[in-house]
Amino acid sequence: MTEQTRDCRKAANTEYDAIIVGGGIYGVTLALEAGRRGLKTLLLEKGDFGEYTSFNSLKIVHGGLRYLQSLDLPRFKESITERSWFLRHFPRRVEPLPCLMPLYGRGMKRPAVFKIALWLNHLLSLERNKGLDANRVLPMGGIASIDETKKIFPLVNPKGLQGSALWYDACMPDSQLLIMDLLQYACETGTTALNYCQVTSITTGGGGGVKGVVATDRTTGENLEFRATTVINSCGPWSPETISGLLGEEKALYQPSLAWNVSFNRPSLSDHALAVQGPASGSRILFVTPWKGRIFAGCGHEPWLRNPEKPMPNEQQMNTFIGEVNDAVPGLKLGLSDVHRVFAGLLPTVEKGSNVLTKREVIIDHGAKGGPAGLYSIGGIKFTTARLVAEKIWGMVGGKNPAFLSKPAPMPVVRQSFYESGPMTTEAIAKLKAEDPTIVHLDDLLLRRSTLYEDADHNEMQRVAIALGLEEPEIAEEIARCTPKLQHLALEQK
């Protein structure tokens, strides 16, 4: 059993089976699955764990209902299996989410068609509730009548309404805490996890294989070399930069587009997630979910050709998105002044300058393409299936190195999570800091190891900074660093 620590020099003096570069949901699940296979793994993240796109998801653990429309049964089965995995192993973070789609008889969106689709969804996922707690079971869906639809969704557009499709998915209201729990599991199985440790180069040996990485400890400025003969590049939009100049690079790895979701300071429209669409031809389907009592809507999606560090829609894009939500829910009349927070990140697309997302993850064995042996890259697309992708990667690595093919051990029995949602006392903050030394900055705790960011102001930042044991001038520096990250509407300029 390994405690969570942050000792970069000690890690540099250790030989690892594998180094994972990038600490989002894909890197964290890679570390977890490595640990379950008995591998000694180092996870390096240039910022904080789960800080970027992983933090900004729609907070839904999707099943595969939408894949039935295209008869993509492999993706359907993967999504169903992984949704059940999250519900089974993290019932305190992942919970059932009833979903409702009003039907107006346009195209495939007719009650008769959806009745068949929902029946198939049930038949093809009969084991979805196996091993789940009773309060995490997902019922079979069905067709709700017009009256039932209006009761569930009072603001539904009644013109032409024929009823609605009702099904059950899952949600993770505090997705950032789920990532931290996954990381805790990974550390319990032997992972060493270092945040604020930025990889600057991948090193190779005389035989052409990787031998490790060079990284900078951003808290001290020290450059350190870490050793392993397997390196997995899981850096999201920074993945191409990480392997730049090495043979076996592929442009298809990660070509980013902007995606965002918005929470509004308005009461949620229903206790169901709502799949809604404006009446105009070609209108997109939007999801409007009940998050912490607020309206939470997603997702906006546009091309992105700028630096990946601070993705954010501009004012015009936000106004267009809010207009789409208003068109789909007549009478809602949302505006920019109602925005509570914009959750923006980058997702991979089919080509540069596009907003058409890739359908599946991209996994590259660079050694098989003329690059260094032992170097792999992943361009992931879905939070839900990240763990399954990790299994695929370790299977690929094991094809070259049988030592990586060990049968995964059962999920570890971990003591109670360090991380809690809701208010935190000064004592609880100090205790959390003692338990998790990877808390380096004020925003690490406020945004990613608690739910305090949701309503934090200057006074709350001051209180938390003092509870973390900081003193002036560090308190002022940390508040200045954290304040922009708490802004509710930090729109990019046009």
Angstrom distance (rounded) from CA 47 to CA 132: 35
187 and 152 within one domain: no
What pLDDT sits at residue 416?
A: 78
261 and 244 within one domain: no
Low-confidence ranges of the chain (pLDDT < 50): 1-2, 494
- Domain annotation covers residue 394: yes
- Domain annotation covers residue 477: yes
Residue at which a domain ends, from 301, 322, 348: 348
What pLDDT sits at residue 276?
A: 96
Angstrom distance (rounded) from CA 164 to CA 433: 48
> Partners of 228 in the beta sheet?
16
What pLDDT sits at residue 207?
A: 83
Look at the block and give the residue holding tokens 């890259």: 377
382 and 446 within one domain: no
- Domain annotation covers residue 470: yes
What pLDDT sits at residue 249?
A: 65
- Domain annotation covers residue 478: yes
- Domain annotation covers residue 73: no
- Domain annotation covers residue 81: no
| 3-state per-residue secondary structure call for the chain | CCCCCCCHHHHHCCEECEEEECCCHHHHHHHHHHHHCCCCEEEECCCCCCCCHHHHCCCEECCCHHHHCCCCHHHHHHHHHHHHHHHHHCCCCCEEEEEEEECCCECCECHHHHHHHHHHHHHCCCCCCCCCCHHHCCCCCEEECHHHHHHHCCCCCCCCCCCEEEEEEEECCCHHHHHHHHHHHHHHCCCEEECCEEEEEEEECCCCEEEEEEEEECCCCEEEEEEECCEEECCHHHHHHHCCCCCCCCHHHCCEEEEEEEEEEEECCCCCEEEEECCCCCCCEEEEEEECCEEEEEEEEEECCCCCCCCCCEHHHHHHHHHHHHHHCCCCCCCHHHEEEEEEEEEEECCCCCCCECCCCEEEEHHHHCCCECEEEEECCCCCCHHHHHHHHHHHHHHHCHHHHCCCCCCCCCCCCCCCCCCCCHHHHHHHHHHCCCCCCHHHHHHHCCCHHHHCCHHHHHHHHHHCCCCCCHHHHHHHHHHHHHCCCCCECC
Q: CA angle at residue 234 from 228 to 237, to 5 degrees?
A: 140
247 and 223 within one domain: yes
What pLDDT sits at residue 400?
A: 84
247 and 164 within one domain: no
Angstrom distance (rounded) from CA 218 to CA 196: 5
Angstrom distance (rounded) from CA 22 to CA 276: 35
Nearest CA-CA partner of 57 in 337, 315, 324, 291: 291
304 and 381 within one domain: no
Angstrom distance (rounded) from CA 346 to CA 369: 26
Q: Which domain holds residue 458?
A: 426-486
Residue at which a domain ends, from 321, 348, 375: 348
365 and 335 within one domain: no
283 and 330 within one domain: yes
Distances (CA, A) of 63 to 120, 155, 299, 360, 456: 13, 26, 17, 15, 33
- Domain annotation covers residue 94: no
Distances (CA, A) of 321 to 141, 194, 262, 304: 29, 37, 10, 16
395 and 261 within one domain: no
What is the identity of the amino acid at 25? I
What is the count of structural domains for the chain?
3
CATH number for the domain spanning 267: value is 3.30.9.10
Angstrom distance (rounded) from CA 452 to CA 463: 11
Given a contact cutoff of 8 angstroms between Cβ atoms, the answer to whether 378 and 360 are in contact is no
CATH number for the domain spanning 244: value is 3.50.50.60
Per-residue pLDDT tens for 376-389?
999 999 999 999 99
What pLDDT sits at residue 414?
A: 64
285 and 219 within one domain: no
Residue at which a domain ends, from 348, 366, 387: 348
Look at the block and give the residue holding tokens 């209902």: 65
- Domain annotation covers residue 29: yes
Angstrom distance (rounded) from CA 59 to CA 131: 23
246 and 259 within one domain: no
438 and 314 within one domain: no
Per-residue pLDDT tens for 61-101?
998 888 888 888 999 999 999 999 999 999 999 999 999 99
